[in-house]
Structure 1
């Protein structure tokens, strides 16, 4: 059995007096693909933001390999996040985003060039390398965000609706990448309405209900 990588005990999140969820308990293991399900407003994005350390205001216990997530420095937390809304640096081109992202993770120059070229070809972004992301369609912006996330070194990939606005070929490519990541022992945690694409890869489902 795979070792646990994330454990939540009595996890609670609220905004003011509004409880998003409470008494949330789960364990996620290495090499799993876990789907976060629930109706709108049940806290799927909120939970993913917490797991990605985008949100550190919550109650309960949340451990990464028995280390308190609140005490763990972000640079020591090997995760990559595909948020529901792509986030980019102002003024940088697509190519500059990809090169800059890869350069933060200790790759050599030749490795960066090879990695960037690989993902650019996989997601058909060659014609958009000199564009600013804001000039692109929603689908191409999503593909750039996915590429940036995959260029990082991580043990856990967290993704919030990663298939949104993707064409069928790009969605198929992303599923193939998910499969390879699992084969390499990576953990994937995601929410998505397009489960048909990757249903055969799902190991477990964590279902949220409003306020619970």
Structure 2
């Protein structure tokens, strides 16, 4: 059984505290996403997980095969770093077999696994070509293959969708899903919210070194208090006082089209909200939609930035 526990971790650099008392856990076999804007503290957190740096306060515990470690053991780790590290002049095969050997793989096993993953990415016929001759996106896929050839228990991927077109992003989605099927635990950081929403079992949203949201998509919808929206247009817009009275149990706003936008904690509240809206007049247009991860992300970061400004004031 494998588990990663991060408890009250703090990490500072000179005058900047990059990680501020963060706690979370990653379970075996799940895909866990680290989200947040640039400078949120994700890279600092990853460096501690892989043992490049150590917490100033708090602790990290990685339990693998009934053994406890302060960072992920190298032989159990597959890592795609922010700064990619393959050799441009060498062929794809030379790169992959070299790093496989460093992980202790025999050549026969390494070749079998290399061919398997290269075929998955439509790169098998390119394996004898220099890495530099490949497009940026194809080089990225080779980097991903390199991270998993030794079949690690834990895979950490920093921006795995970077430089990929939509077709290849979907291939990476399938790649990550297969890693999960094979029992690997995947931790990834990414800015492509639509990809994360397809993949992640749970996620941690950071901003300015702090945890903003943590859990599954359903958990996050509940934490932020918005899981869906109703957008309603009337033949004649009711007064603000009338809307406020009817929707006193809901948050609402008016959009640029003078439609009433009602924020719901979940889709189960649609009927109650609609009952109240019907008392306000004739509805000419009604639209109901769930807030996707991208919208939740923007809302959460905006609210957290506001909290920081209020504290500073």
Aligned position for 1:173:
171
* Alignment pair present for 1:57 and 2:58: no
Preserved contact between residue 32 and residue 203 of structure 2 (Cα < 8 Å): yes
Residue of structure 2 aligned with 1:23, choices 21, 34, 51: 21
TM-score between both structures, scaled by the size of structure 2: 0.60
Q: How many Å apart are 1:127 and its aligned residue?
A: 4.9
Distance of aligned partners of 1:202 and 1:75 in 2 relative to their CA distance in 1, 3 Å threshold: closer
Greater CA drift, 141-150 or 108-117: 108-117
TM-score between both structures, scaled by the size of structure 1: 0.85
Distance of aligned partners of 1:181 and 1:211 in 2 relative to their CA distance in 1, 3 Å threshold: closer
Cα distance between partner residues in 1 of 2:70 and 2:164: 32
Q: Paired residues, what number?
A: 206
Q: How many Å apart are 1:100 and its aligned residue?
A: 1.6
Cα distance between partner residues in 1 of 2:69 and 2:106: 32
Deviation string, structure 1 residues 124-177 (Cα, Å, up to 9, x no partner): 324543444344332122111111112122111111110111233332222122
Q: How many Å apart are 1:113 and its aligned residue?
A: 2.2
**5+ long unaligned stretches in structure 2:** 211-313
Q: How many Å apart are 1:4 and its aligned residue?
A: 5.5
**5+ long unaligned stretches in structure 1:** none
Q: RMSD value over aligned CA atoms? A: 2.3
Aligned position for 1:82:
80
Preserved contact between residue 12 and residue 21 of structure 1 (Cα < 8 Å): yes
More helix by share: 2
Cα distance between partner residues in 2 of 1:113 and 1:5: 30
Aligned position for 1:69:
70
Distance of aligned partners of 1:68 and 1:98 in 2 relative to their CA distance in 1, 3 Å threshold: closer
Cα distance between partner residues in 2 of 1:207 and 1:122: 31
Preserved contact between residue 42 and residue 210 of structure 1 (Cα < 8 Å): yes
Cα distance between partner residues in 2 of 1:113 and 1:211: 42
Alignment of 1:73-152 (within 5 A): 74-76=73-75, 78-89=76-87, 91-152=89-150
